[in-house]
Structure 1
Amino acid sequence: MLYKFKSRAVADLIMLEPQGRQILEIIGKTPGATGIVTVAQIPEAIAALESAVAAEEARRAQQAADAAQEDADEVETEPVDAVHLRQRVVPFIDLLRRSAAEGYDVVWGV
């Protein structure tokens, strides 16, 4: 399944279901077949995404520091995700900012 985010301000943004669901959950929206982020909700959504990115980066930095202190062979680490949250949300944040600047809501569908 794909999520297709649309706004009259920019081209459509298409995401795979797991990533689209994650972003919707971060901004406090219920992942579903359709939905909307109104212009009034966009600043809060951007702040939530930026906060989630900062939290993930802090967690990764702490894990790296912990691994450096202990023998790397003895430390269990979670699998390395080749694409981090920051990289996934940048296009969505851009879509939100440009939509807000032009006064358009963002809608999604599957």
Structure 2
Amino acid sequence: MLITFKSKAAAEILMYKEHARRILDLLGKDPDQGVITAPEMPHAIAVLEREIGESRAHFAAEELQRDVLAHHGNDHDDNEHEPAQIISFATRAYPLLEMLRAAQQEQQPVVWGV
């Protein structure tokens, strides 16, 4: 199922509900329907920036491990098949963070499920 984030300050953002749930849980919001008001924007932006920063720090270690495994399979001699690339939390959350920044600048809410 998809969630559409809307704001008069930015273009709509579509996101799978399972991916949006992590972001909305961090913000204490219901994934089915909700609003982030202009007064809530600074806190929401700070929470997402902090979580993105933390996920990037951990992602570097995970990326190194994937590179090693890409060159050495379970039997340490298969370099023909690389594992599927994982999309990081930072990559998934960044569009919504940008929407929140634009909404804060224009003092507009961000809504979903309406």
* TM > 0.5: yes
C-alpha distance in structure 2 between counterparts of 1:87 and 1:62, whole Å: 16
Specify which structure has the bigger relative contact order, considering alpha-carbon pairs within 8 angstroms and separated by 6 or more residues.
1
TM-score, length basis structure 2: 0.74
1:106 — aligned with what?
A: 110
2:89 — aligned with what?
A: 85
1:29 — aligned with what?
A: 29
C-alpha distance in structure 2 between counterparts of 1:39 and 1:80, whole Å: 39
Q: CA deviation at 1:58?
A: 2.4
TM-score, length basis structure 1: 0.76
1:76 — aligned with what?
A: none
C-alpha distance in structure 2 between counterparts of 1:43 and 1:80, whole Å: 35
C-alpha distance in structure 1 between counterparts of 2:60 and 2:84, whole Å: 13
Structure 1 segments unaligned to the other structure (5+ residues)? 74-78
Give deviations 1:25-65, integer Å, cap 9, x for gaps: 1222232x210000111111111111111222223345559
2:10 — aligned with what?
A: 10
Structure 2 segments unaligned to the other structure (5+ residues)? 75-82
- Larger Cα Rg: Structure 1 or Structure 2? 2
Aligned-pair RMSD on alpha carbons? 2.5
Amino acid aligned to 2:48: L
Q: Does 1:41 align with 2:45?
A: no
Q: Show structure 1 runs of 4+ deviating over 3 A.
A: 60-65
C-alpha distance in structure 1 between counterparts of 2:3 and 2:98, whole Å: 16
